[in-house]
Amino acid sequence: MLVLAGPIGAGKTQLTHLLSQQLGTQAFEEPVTDNPVLPLFYKGNEEAEMRRQAGEKDATNHYAFLLQIYFLNQRFAMIKKAMQDDNNVLDRSIYEDQLFMKMNTDMGNAKPEEYEIYKHLLNNMMEELPYAAHKKSPDLMIYLKVDYPTMISRIAHRGRAYEQVDSDPTLEEYYKRLLRYYEDWERRYDASPMITIDGTKYDFVNSDSDREHVLNTIYGTLHDMGNIDNDELKRLMMLNQVD
């Protein structure tokens, strides 16, 4: 099982589909477009910040805890399905979920008590994962690392109104903080082998040569790990070859 990790706008969904198409496996997408809580969460962040600026020190976002529970439940179900066949690809990792809940707690959007409940639930689910999905961790974690300008550019390009800094200036600090939390997450991650792809340097969506480099890096890693044989590696690299 291959799992993508990275902040908003890193290109996880695009790379997930590229990998699954070439490997002939299934892509499992994070539920975003049909997520009923996500727009409420962004609006709740804005309102909580306004209340704090008005002097309400303990103002929280009522949707922060609900959103993370929603994602956690969806993610656990996706993992169970993805692990039924080899080389399926998930575009978001359950191993980075706690990052978002911790950040929202540190920002005051969620209560410490909610964070503790969330951690206990996540730990219980992870203990059940080997029984529900036959393994506890992905075979390879692929971390897409981007800088702030790249992140904002891609968020603007995909056009979800509730994600735009232009319409909600408080998101600038939220996104910058998120990148700092990901730096810490990258250093601490130890659940499985992981490779880091520089999503700022390599535009694998719009550049053929960048796409070839990124995909071949991933396939070379899978080959070294014993997940694909010599013939499959050769086939995949020929498929990516840029004239």
Q: What is the DSSP string of 182-205?
A: HHHHHHH--SS-EEEEETTT--TT
Cβ pair 220, 234 in contact under 8 A: no
Residue 76's pLDDT is what? 86
Give a yes or no: residue 206 inside a domain: no
> From CA 16, how far away is CA 115, in angstroms rounded?
30
Q: Using 50, 70 and 90 to split pLDDT, how confident is the model at 116?
A: very high
Give a yes or no: residue 117 inside a domain: yes
Give a yes or no: residue 220 inside a domain: no
Per the annotation, the verdict on 58 as an active-site residue is no
Residue 94's pLDDT is what? 85
Which of 64, 67, 34 is CA-nearest to residue 46?
64
The mean of the pLDDT values for the chain is: 88
Residue 231's pLDDT is what? 94
Give a yes or no: residue 232 inside a domain: no
Over residues 63-86, the pLDDT tens digits come to 999 999 998 988 888 888 887 777
Residue 47 burial (CB count, 10 A): 15
Task: Provide the β-strand partners of residue 195.
Answer: 142
Rounded to an integer, the average pLDDT of 51-57 is 84
Residue from 34, 85, 86, 91 carrying the catalytic annotation: 91
Give a yes or no: residue 171 inside a domain: yes
Structural domain boundaries enclosing 145:
2-201
Give Dmax (Cα) for the chain. Answer: 64
Give a yes or no: residue 50 inside a domain: yes
H helices present in the chain, as ranges? 12-23, 38-53, 64-82, 97-107, 112-133, 148-158, 171-188, 208-225, 230-240
How many independent structural domains does the chain possess?
1
- The CATH number of the domain where 40 resides is what? 3.40.50.300
Give a yes or no: residue 234 inside a domain: no
| Per-residue pLDDT at 60 exceeds 80 | yes
Min mean pLDDT across 5-14, 92-101, 159-168, 224-233 is at 159-168
Which of 140, 11, 130, 114 is CA-nearest to residue 58?
114
Rounded to an integer, the average pLDDT of 9-38 is 85
Is the whole model's pTM more than 0.85, yes or no?
yes
Give a yes or no: residue 20 inside a domain: yes
> From CA 203, how far away is CA 214, in angstroms rounded?
9
Rounded to an integer, the average pLDDT of 118-123 is 94
